[in-house]
């Protein structure tokens, strides 16, 4: 493959929960119902939706992405963060030191996260095969070109994340602000720079 094609998937605002936080919000031992399996073996989006309450406004219905994680994490777009009144930094998922917190309200309880609110840094998941063929490893930074009818865009500062899988995998994750900036929905893009 000489053209490095990646499928670009758009992530709406969502929440990852620890088992403990899920217990507080939904009741002890509660299991989330699957609304949709995510591409690339990335877990699932829940049927359940809970409220994110910021100092300036509230989003009443935000989906949770399962399964549970070691740390709770809220992923927003910059536009979402501004609307809620929280100053969320751009971070790679899981890099949560020094990030702001926010209030979550579920059907069985509420809690105040003391950190974990981020704007996810755009990235491309690739498999072992793509990693070898393209000469890219985790932490490498590339640019990805997306062609659309009237807002084509090259996304720089895109991090590579290699997953150990024998299956073909080349999946980029961007948020709704980034998708809107390029006038796009889920579609293909191409790695154009290293």
Q: Which x/- pattern, by CB under 5 A, does the window 51-90 give for Zn ion?
A: ----------------------------------------
Provide the minimum distance between the beta carbon of 123 and Zn ion in the complex, in angstroms, as a whole number.
Answer: 6
Q: Which is nearer to Zn ion, 25 or 46 (CB)?
A: 46
Residue nearest to Zn ion (CB): 173
Q: Which is nearer to Zn ion, 14 or 173 (CB)?
A: 173
- In angstroms, the CA 161 to CA 19 distance is 25
* Helices and strands per DSSP (H, E), number in the chain: 4, 15
DSSP for 120-186, written as a single string: EPPEEEEEHHHHHHHT--TT-EEEEEE--SS--EEEEEEEEEEE--SS--EEEEEEHHHHHHTT--S
Structure token digits, residue 85: 């009144």
- Residue 123 · residue 178 · CB < 8 Å: no
Q: Which is nearer to Zn ion, 42 or 89 (CB)?
A: 42
Q: Which is nearer to Zn ion, 92 or 192 (CB)?
A: 92
Does residue number 14 form part of the binding site for Zn ion (CB under 5 A)? no
* C-alpha 179: how far from chain center: 13
Q: Which is nearer to Zn ion, 63 or 173 (CB)?
A: 173
Total interface residues for Zn ion by CB under 5 A: 1
* Residue 156 half-sphere exposure toward CB, CA atoms < 13 A: 0
**Which among 15, 121, 113 has a CA at the least distance from the CA of 78?**
121
Provide the minimum distance between the beta carbon of 93 and Zn ion in the complex, in angstroms, as a whole number.
Answer: 7
Q: Tell me which residues in 154-183 interact with Zn ion (CB under 5 A).
A: 173
Using CB under 5 A as the criterion, which residues of the chain lie in contact with Zn ion when the complex forms? 173
């Amino acid at each position: 493959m000489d053209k490095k094609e990646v499928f670009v998937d758009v992530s709406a605002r969502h929440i990852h929960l620890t088992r403990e936080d899920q217990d507080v919000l939904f009741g002890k031992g509660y299991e989330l119902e699957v609304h949709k399996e995510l591409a690339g073996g990335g877990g699932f989006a829940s049927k359940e939706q809970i409220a994110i309450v910021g100092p300036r406004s509230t989003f009443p219905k935000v989906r949770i992405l399962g399964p549970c994680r070691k740390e709770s994490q809220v992923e927003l777009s910059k536009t979402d963060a501004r609307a809620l009144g929280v100053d969320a930094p751009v971070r790679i998922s899981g890099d949560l030191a020094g990030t702001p917190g926010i209030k979550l309200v579920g059907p069985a309880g509420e809690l105040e996260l003391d950190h974990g609110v981020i704007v996810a840094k755009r990235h491309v998941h690739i498999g072992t095969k793509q990693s070898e063929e393209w000469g890219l490893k985790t932490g490498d930074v590339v640019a990805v070109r997306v062609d659309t009818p009237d807002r084509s865009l090259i996304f720089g500062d895109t991090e590579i994340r290699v997953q150990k899988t024998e299956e073909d995998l080349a999946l980029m994750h961007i948020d709704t602000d980034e998708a809107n900036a390029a006038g796009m929905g889920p579609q293909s893009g191409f790695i154009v720079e290293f």
